[in-house]
A and B are shown apart, each in its own frame.
Chain A
C-alpha cells in the first residue's frame, strides 16, 4: 500500500498480511499487551497536552500516531539492552519502565533529565538533533569491549537523519561492527520540513551506502515493528553489526504544543493517516480475529484513565525546585565557582541552602 518494500504484518483494517521474511511470533495475550501499552501511552500523551494547555507544562512533544513504532520497538528490547532516545520517545520510555511522571519533569521545567538512566537502561531525552546516535555507538563499542551480548538502540527522526552526527554514527557503527540498531521514525515532518527535503531516497536505503542493512517497516503496524526490531536486535547481539530501521509513520499532532501544523500541511493528508491509526488496527484485529469482548477494552481504558489521573496529581505536586539545586552535580569534583555561587545564593537569601 504505502510502499512495496514496506514490511507489514497487519493491514490498516486489522487484517493479517503475510510477508516472505517476517511472521508475527506473538500470541493473543502478547498482542493485547501491546494494545494496552499503546492505549496507555496515547492517554499519557493526551493528558500531557491538556496539562500544557492548562499552563501546567512548559511544553509537550506529542507522540500520537507513533505509538506502534515506539511500543513495537520498545517491547522488542531485552532488559539488558540500552536505549538512547530523542525527546519524543515517551512510548519507549514506558516500555523501559520509566515512571510517566518522570517523563514529564523536563516538560514541567523542573529538571533537564528526569530519571536515572542507568537504572532504566534508557538514556535521557536528547534535544540537540542526532547527538544521541553517537552516544549509542560509543556505548555499543563498550559492550563489545566487555564481551557482552547486549544490544543498543537509538531513536531519531527523519529530520535528524540529515544531521552529521547521525551520518557519522552510521560510519562508526559500520567500521566497528557495533551492536547497535538505528531506529528512525519517519513521521514525515520535521516541524514544517517535509521528509522529502531530508532525502531523495527512502531513508532506509541510506544504510546500504554505509555497508549495513536497512529496512522499512510500517511504523503504524505494531506486529511488524516488533518482529523487525527483534530480529535486528538479535543480529546485533550475536555480532551481526548494525541495522537501520525506518519506521514509516506519521506525527498526527503538532511537533510540540508550540507548533501549528495547519500552517504547513493539509487536512487531507492527516485524514489519510487517520485511516492508518496504529491503535485502531490492533483493536480491529483483537475484535475480529480473537473475538475479544468490549469489557476487555473498557478495562484498558479505565486503567489508562487511572494512570492519567495519577499523572496529573504527580505533575501538579511538582513544585519549583530550590534554586540552589542548580549547583548540584554540575561538576563531580569541588569547583570554586560552584562554591561561590552557592554562597552568594545563601547570602542573598535566594535559598535557605537546604540541599
Chain B
C-alpha cells in the first residue's frame, strides 16, 4: 500500500486532477479557480494542464455557476462548481433547491444531475463575516441532494472523486480550517464508500459523532478524556445526508451515551437529526439523552471570538461529563 503525505488542499487538488484525467466530461467552474488556482489554491495548476474550456473561470455570479452547471449536466457534462466561501452560496440557493435537487425527479430519470458543489465551510481561520458558516443543514433538508464532508486528506482525495462519479448532485463540504493539515493518502485504494460513517477511535463509554473540522477536535477531546479514565468512541459521520446510521447504532448499543458535535447552531440541524434518529432507533440502548455541542444561536461572531463559538475540546468534555453523569 503506497501512501503519500499531503495536505487536504493538495489531496483535493490531486483528486480533481485524477477525476479530470479519467473522464473528459468533468469540468471545473468557479470564481478565480484558473490562474489563481482558487482562493484556497485547491485548483492550483489545473487550468494550465486541462485548459480554459475545462477549468472555467466564472464571472462573479453564484446562481449562474450552479445554473449553467445544470445545463451542462443536461448536455452530459459533470461540473464541479466551486463556491468560494460558504456564505456566498445563498445566491445559488434557488438553483440548488428548485432545480438541481428536483430535475431528476421532474424528468423521471431523463436528466442526470451529476454535479458537485464544493463548499469550503465551517470557521476557524480568523476570517471576516460570511467566510466561516456551516450551511449544511439547508441542503441536508432538501430531498434530491446529498451532502458529504471530508475530515482527512485521504477522505478528501477519495470522496471528491467518488462524488464526481456519482449520478446524484452532491454538496461537498470542505472544512477549510483543515486544508493545510497533512495526512497520509492512499493513492491506490478508496478507504470507504462515499456515504459510510467511519469509527475514527474505538471506545466503550460514550459515542461522540461529528463531521468536517469537528472530527479532529473530538479526537483531541478523546485523548484528554482517556487520561481521565473515560473511553470515547469517535465516529466521523462523513455523509451528512443521508446519514449512515447503522454504525452509530452499533456504537450506541455498546456505549449507551451520545454526544454530537457540529459548528452549526443546533436548531433544526444535522446534529439534531442524528440525535432524533438515534433516539428513535435505539431508545433502549440510551442511558441518557443525547447532547448536542454546537455553535451558539447567533450570527457567526467576529473571528477574534470565534473559538468561543465553535465547539472546543473543553465544551466537548463538558458534554461528555454531563451525559456520563446523567444516571447518578
B152 nearest CB across to chain A (Å): 23
Bound-complex Cα distance A138 to B104 (A) = 17
A residues adjacent to B (C-beta < 8 A):
84, 111-113, 116-119, 123-124, 126, 128, 131, 133-146, 164-165, 168-169, 171-172, 175, 328-333, 335-337
Contact yes or no, A329 B108, CB < 8 A: yes
A to B contact number (C-beta, < 8 Å)? 135
Given contacts A112-B105, A164-B63, A171-B61, contact A134 B70 (CB under 8 A): yes
- The answer to whether A128 touches B99 (Cβ under 8 A) is yes
Query: Interface size bucket, B side?
Result: 35 or more
A112-B98 Cα distance, complex, nearest whole Å? 12
A113, A134, A141: the one within 8 Å of B106 (CB) = A113
Write the nearest CB–CB distance from B145 to chain A, whole angstroms: 9
Are A332 and B112 closer than 8 Å at their CB atoms?
Answer: yes
Q: What are the 7 A-B residue pairs with the smallest beta carbon separation, nearest first? A: A138-B71, A134-B67, A142-B75, A138-B68, A332-B167, A139-B71, A135-B71
Least CB distance from B172 to A in Å reads 15
Please name 16 pairs of A and B residues whose Cβ atoms are closer than 8 Å in the assembled complex, sorted by A. Answer: A84-B71, A117-B107, A118-B111, A128-B99, A134-B66, A134-B68, A134-B95, A137-B64, A138-B71, A138-B75, A139-B75, A143-B75, A168-B64, A328-B105, A329-B109, A333-B168
> Which one, A164, A172, A328, contacts B59 given CB within 8 A?
A172
- Complex interface: chain B residues within 8 A of A116 (CB): 107-108, 110
**B108 and A328 contact, CB distance less than 8 A:** yes
Cβ B99 vs Cβ A135 within 8 A: yes
Chain A min CB distance to B61 (Å): 4
**Chain B residues near A117 (CB-CB < 8 A):** 74, 107, 110-111
A142 to B74, CA, bound (A): 9
Docked CA distance A335–B94 (Å):
23
- Write out the residue numbers on chain B whose beta carbons fall within 8 Å of the beta carbon of A333: 166-168
B residues engaging A (CB < 8 A)? 27, 53, 56, 59, 61, 63-64, 66-77, 91, 94-95, 98-99, 102-112, 143-144, 146, 166-168, 242-243, 245
Contact across chains for A141 and B68 when beta carbons are under 8 A apart: yes
- Please determine whether A165 and B67 come into contact, CB atoms closer than 8 angstroms: yes
In the bound complex, CA of A210 to CA of B322 (Å)? 60
In the bound complex, what is the Cα–Cα distance between A170 and B315 (angstroms)?
50
For residue A336, which residue of chain B has the nearest CB?
Answer: B242
A337 B242 Cβ-Cβ under 8 A? yes
Contact B71–A145 (Cβ < 8 Å): no
Give A295 Cβ to nearest chain B Cβ, in Å: 42
C-alpha spacing A40/B152, complex, angstroms: 61
